[in-house]
Structure 1
Amino acid sequence: MAPALRSLLLLSTVLVSALPPGRWQEASPGDPGVRQAAKLAVRHYNQGSDREEIYRQVRLAGGARKQVVSGMKYDLTILLGRTLCKKGKNVIRDDCELRSPAPLRGVECNFSILVVPWINETKILHQACSQESLVTEVTDISSQNQKIPSTKPEDELVEAVTLFKDFVTIYDKRYKDDEEAGRRLQIFTQNLKKAARIQEMDQGTAEYGVTKYSDLTEEEFRTLFLNPVLSKRPPRPMKMAAIPTDPAPTQWDWRDHGAVTAVKNQGMCGSCWAFSVTGNIEGQWFLRKGSLISLSEQELVDCDGVDHACGGGLPSSAYEAIEKLGGLELESDYSYQGHKQSCSFSTGKVSAYINSSLEIPKDETEIAAWLAHNGPISIALNAFAMQFYRKGISHPFRILCNPWMIDHAVLLVGYGERDGTPFWAIKNSWGEDWGEKGYYYLYRGSAACGMNTMCSSAVVG
């Protein structure tokens, strides 16, 4: 398919969704859809003409209209001027000079064009041209386009289409058909606006925009990747952790001390609770036993009878399940599948165990002190800003990221400052192609997004 046609098809998918059906709408000559439709109309004229010269567009002579029908219908009246180029084998040229500046010989044609993007079809429904005559007033289309810029909504649509094409390529997105692709483009376009609003309201240094989740509705994102159980069920009571009496260092990061495994990916499964817990135990095992091992989340998804696998769970319940099972297998022995299976846990393959678990106080200064002395902490937070987070220190307003709506479990691995802005360093479980190589940086000092409401750790003897 020609690049011009592909562009028109994609643009029309967006435009069809933006216009009311049935009514003719006036369209600017600078409308990207009109410009692409005009190119296709001129090409159609040259291919069917018996004249030996190539004709090119001089201007839109009678305005332009567009209408949503079974696709996008364009009604254009175009003044075509004779150029110095001969057809030969190539009738598709945009670089031909007009035969003379004025008077110019040309024809005026009315075209009706139908574009149906979801079946990749373009039809010239109607073409009617006048006899060739002298044209005394010439306004070249190149200068016309400079004088009539695209309207702001059209600029936004063009930008959205360009970003969506890059998004599909970068994240290797595949949709079942053109209709689904069109729907995802509409969602993507709305999400660009939502990310921009989050950006405007953020109090930190974060950048929000296109991520691998930009083609999902908020409901889809919550269902596939978040954890509704966290705000619906109270955690299991645990003993309160003792806070170190020594002052905490000004900054600390357990990645620098070998206590954190590589970023993992929970896939389309609400199993963040399992990743948060295994990350904590991996750090505790390293600090107590001297070796960093990657532990199995799938074992918890399959064998924890209290939590709900991909439907969500609580770290406090997961600790109890691990104690009852007798420990965790290695990731390499019980690999992650991203959906619940029958439990195949083997006590003979246990590589790490825990003795109990602790609740960590909600004061952020105490959280920092405990973390620096004792290792990474399992926490939960409100993931309000995370769907579109790209980098920087996120600091949403409390009213937008309230602490009583926590819905995602993660691993707190460190804290510090960037250019005077304090942050928490958080290991997520959405792969390294999200955020800052899989990490989320959240403002420290205001209990942002409820990050202090459910802090805990396993105890390794």
Structure 2
Amino acid sequence: MKEHGRIYPNFEESETRYQIFQRNLRYITEMNAKRSNSTFSYRLGLNKFADMSPEEFKRVYLRELKIPTTTNTTTGSRTDYAEQKDSCGAPASMDWRQNGVVVGVKNQGSCGSCWAFAAAAAIESAHAISTRELVSLSEQELIDCDSKGQGCSGGWPSYAFDWVVGNGGISKEDDYPYAAQKGYCRANMNGNSAVKISSYQRVTPSDDALMCATAQQPIAVALDATNIQLYNGGIYEGEDCPRDSNRLNHAVLIVGYGSEDGKDYWIAKNSWGEGWGMKGYILIHRNTDLPNGVCSINTAASYPII
């Protein structure tokens, strides 16, 4: 309570939260003990979500949606997948944070707006790579204005890219600050679209195609995040996700990839603040034999084009 500024309205609520906290702590201890003698290298830990039950966490932060059928505003037709390359000359590892083109980790709060954060982050990085200017962009504008999205109830980065193309750009965060709730669209009144994109592209759903794309710029992806509530570090294996899963309920930004002790991983930037995971980031196992990648991470990747 002290560490995360928790103030509960009454004794009953405080007791309920304490019981949930104890259950989560037992789960963390048991699972970490099992993994210490297994090939699963990731760790669980206490964080700001430790007083939430898994059911509550899923209800507040995750939104299950079907993979979108995307129509590109610039052409009026469905956006095609990027051409998959079997060999693209990608480096063995990549971390776009080291190039100074990734804005710091943000916090979406209790609004289900991960899609807007992933989309804005992808545009921020694409713009920085193109111009060497790193600016923080407005997730709130996407929440308020993207009619294909559902505000704090979910959406898709590809739909957000489509809106930015049609709108002629997206505002800076300072000009259209985050409110963690859907409001009236002020895009026309703001008149200050800081960054424009010409189009966007979907990535063929495979590890190779996603790596080739990530070697060029950070990529917005969706995944099944049901079991990362208490993730604390290491390479997330996703063993709780069905092998052939195509369930998606959260969006993040892949900012790079690498390997550790012979195990390949993605570096993903989340939008739950720096107090979650590895200062706001998670490593996710890549180059597996799973049809859709770990927890469906390959199924709905896309990126903006400047």
Q: Using structure 1 for the length normalisation, give the TM-score.
A: 0.60
Aligned length: 290
Structure with the largest fraction of helix: 1
The aligned residue for residue 394 of structure 1 is: 236
The aligned residue for residue 303 of structure 2 is: 457
Please report how far the alpha carbon of residue 203 of structure 1 lies from its aligned counterpart in structure 2 after TM superposition: 4.3
The structure that has the greater radius of gyration is 1
Indicate yes or no: 2:191 matched with 1:348. yes
Give the unaligned 5+ runs of structure 1. Answer: 1-167
More off after superposition, 450-459 vs 345-354? 345-354
The aligned residue for residue 308 of structure 1 is: 150
Residue correspondence of structure 1 range 11-410 to structure 2 within 5 A: 168-196=1-29, 198-199=31-32, 200=34, 203-229=39-65, 232-236=66-70, 237-243=78-84, 245-346=87-188, 348-372=191-215, 374-397=216-239, 399=241, 403-410=245-252
Please report how far the alpha carbon of residue 228 of structure 1 lies from its aligned counterpart in structure 2 after TM superposition: 2.1
SS at match of 2:22: helix
SS at match of 2:126: helix
SS at match of 1:358: strand
State how far apart, in whole Å, the 1-side matches of 2:165 and 2:139 are. 15
Over the matched positions of the two proteins, sequence identity in percent amounts to: 36
Q: Is the 8 A contact 1:393 1:443 kept in 2?
A: yes
Cα distance, 1:197–1:270 mapped onto 2, change above 3 Å: farther
**Residue identity in the other structure for 1:184:** R
State how far apart, in whole Å, the 2-side matches of 1:235 and 1:390 are. 34
What's the CA shift string for 1:398-447, capped at 9, x where partnerless? Answer: 64576322211000000011233221100000001111110011111121
State how far apart, in whole Å, the 2-side matches of 1:249 and 1:184 are. 47
State how far apart, in whole Å, the 2-side matches of 1:234 and 1:193 are. 38
State how far apart, in whole Å, the 2-side matches of 1:226 and 1:453 are. 17
Please report how far the alpha carbon of residue 169 of structure 1 lies from its aligned counterpart in structure 2 after TM superposition: 1.9
**Residue identity in the other structure for 1:218:** P
State how far apart, in whole Å, the 2-side matches of 1:197 and 1:451 are. 27
The aligned residue for residue 141 of structure 1 is: none
The aligned residue for residue 142 of structure 1 is: none
Structure with the largest fraction of strand: 1
State how far apart, in whole Å, the 2-side matches of 1:330 and 1:192 are. 40
State how far apart, in whole Å, the 1-side matches of 2:238 and 2:18 are. 27
Q: Is the 8 A contact 2:102 2:124 kept in 1?
A: yes
Indicate yes or no: 2:271 matched with 1:429. yes
Q: Is the 8 A contact 2:101 2:132 kept in 1?
A: no
**Residue identity in the other structure for 2:81:** M
State how far apart, in whole Å, the 2-side matches of 1:402 and 1:259 are. 34
SS at match of 2:68: coil
SS at match of 2:2: helix
